[in-house]
C-alpha cells in the first residue's frame, strides 16, 4: 500500500511535468509556499511561477519555468522507509513501470537525502529527485517522506538544476501541525 502511494506521488509528479503551463506570480511572495499541516515550505527562484493547484493530494505545489521545466513538492506522512536511500529504492519499481529509467542514485549533502537522476526517453525528458525522510511526532512516532522532483529537457538540465539547488537551499522544514492542534492561519501560502 505504501509503495502504491509512493508510486502514485511519482506518477503525479510526472503527470504534472507534462501538464500545461500556468501564468501568474512574479513577486518573491508569490513564489513562496508553506504547508503548516505538512511542516514544509519552499521558495521558487526568480522567473519561476508557483502553482498550488496540482490535482494530486500528496503533491503540495509546483514551480513552473516559462521554458517548460517544473519542480514539484510531494509529501507523504505515512511511509515505512527508514531513510531516504530506502525510499528511493522503494520508488524504483514505480518509476520503471512508468517508463522512467534511473541513471544514478547518490547521497545528498542536504539532511541525509538522496538524489535520484532518471530519464524519460519517450518524452525526451530527464528527472532529478531529492528524497528526504524525517521523523515526525505522533502516536505512534511516524516518518514523513518529502520528494522534490525536477522535470526538464536534457538541454535545460544545467539551468534547471541550479533552480532546484536554489529551492533545496531554501527548503523550510518545521514540525507539522497535527489536525488536533489549533493554529491561527490556514494551510498553504505564506
In a domain, 185, yes or no: no
- Provide, for the chain, the percentages of residues in helix, strand and coil under a 3-state DSSP scheme, each rounded to the nearest 5: 25, 35, 40
| CA pseudo-torsion sign 14, 20, 26, 32 | negative
**What grid cell was written down for 169?**
537551499
Count of residues in the chain = 190
Q: Find the CATH number of the domain harbouring 15.
A: 3.40.1000.10
Assigned C-alpha cell, 179: 489536525
At residue 62, the 3 state secondary structure works out as strand
Task: Pick the range with the lowest mean pLDDT from 10-19, 90-99, 171-180.
Answer: 10-19
pTM of the model: 0.79
What span, in angstroms and rounded, lies between the C-alpha atoms of 85 and 83?
6
Using CA atoms of 54, 8, 172, 120 in order, give the dihedral in degrees to the nearest 10: -90
Q: What is the pLDDT of residues 178-189, one digit of tens each?
A: 655 554 444 554
Of residues 162, 150, 161, 88, the one with CA closest to residue 125: 150
**Is the residue at 188 inside a domain?**
no
189: in domain? no
Least confident of 30-34, 53-57, 142-146, 163-167: 53-57
Q: Is residue 112 situated within a structural domain?
A: yes
pLDDT top residue among 51 and 7: 51
* pLDDT tens per residue, range 27-73: 466 889 999 999 999 999 999 999 998 788 899 999 999 999 999 99
Provide the angle, in degrees to the nearest 10, between the axes of the packed helices 2-18 and 84-97: 60
pLDDT, residue 53, reads 82
The predicted pLDDT at position 27 comes to 47
Per-residue pLDDT at 19: 39
Sign of CA dihedral 59, 167, 131, 18: positive
Question: Whole domain around residue 80: which residue ranges?
Answer: 2-173
Eight-state DSSP code of residue 179: T
Asked whether residue 179 is domain-assigned, the answer is no
Domain count, the chain: 1
Instruction: Write down the H helix ranges in the chain.
Output: 2-18, 84-97, 157-169
Asked whether residue 187 is domain-assigned, the answer is no
Let me know if residue 9 belongs to a domain.
Answer: yes
The whole-angstrom separation of Cα 56 and Cα 16 is 9
Determine, yes or no, domain membership for 131: yes
- CB-CB contact of 119 with 126 (8 Å): yes
DSSP 121: G
Amino acid at each position: 500500500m505504501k509503495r502504491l502511494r509512493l508510486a502514485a506521488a511519482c506518477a503525479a509528479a510526472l503527470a504534472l511535468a507534462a501538464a500545461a503551463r500556468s501564468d501568474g506570480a512574479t513577486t518573491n511572495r508569490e513564489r513562496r509556499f508553506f504547508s503548516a499541516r505538512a511542516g514544509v515550505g519552499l521558495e521558487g527562484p526568480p522567473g519561476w511561477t508557483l502553482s498550488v493547484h496540482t490535482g494530486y493530494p500528496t503533491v503540495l505545489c509546483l514551480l513552473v519555468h516559462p521554458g517548460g521545466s517544473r519542480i514539484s513538492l510531494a509529501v507523504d506522512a505515512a511511509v515505512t522507509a527508514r531513510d531516504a536511500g530506502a525510499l528511493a529504492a522503494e520508488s524504483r519499481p514505480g518509476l520503471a513501470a512508468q517508463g522512467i529509467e534511473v541513471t544514478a542514485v547518490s547521497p545528498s549533502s542536504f539532511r541525509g537525502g538522496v538524489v535520484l537522476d532518471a530519464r524519460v526517453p519517450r518524452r525526451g525528458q530527464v528527472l532529478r529527485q531529492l528524497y528526504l525522510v524525517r521523523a515526525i511526532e505522533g502516536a505512534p512516532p511516524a516518518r514523513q517522506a518529502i520528494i522534490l522532483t525536477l522535470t526538464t529537457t536534457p538541454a535545460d538540465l544545467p539551468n534547471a538544476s541550479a533552480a532546484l539547488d536554489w529551492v533545496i537551499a531554501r527548503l523550510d522544514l518545521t514540525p507539522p501541525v497535527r489536525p488536533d492542534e489549533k493554529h491561527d492561519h490556514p494551510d498553504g501560502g505564506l
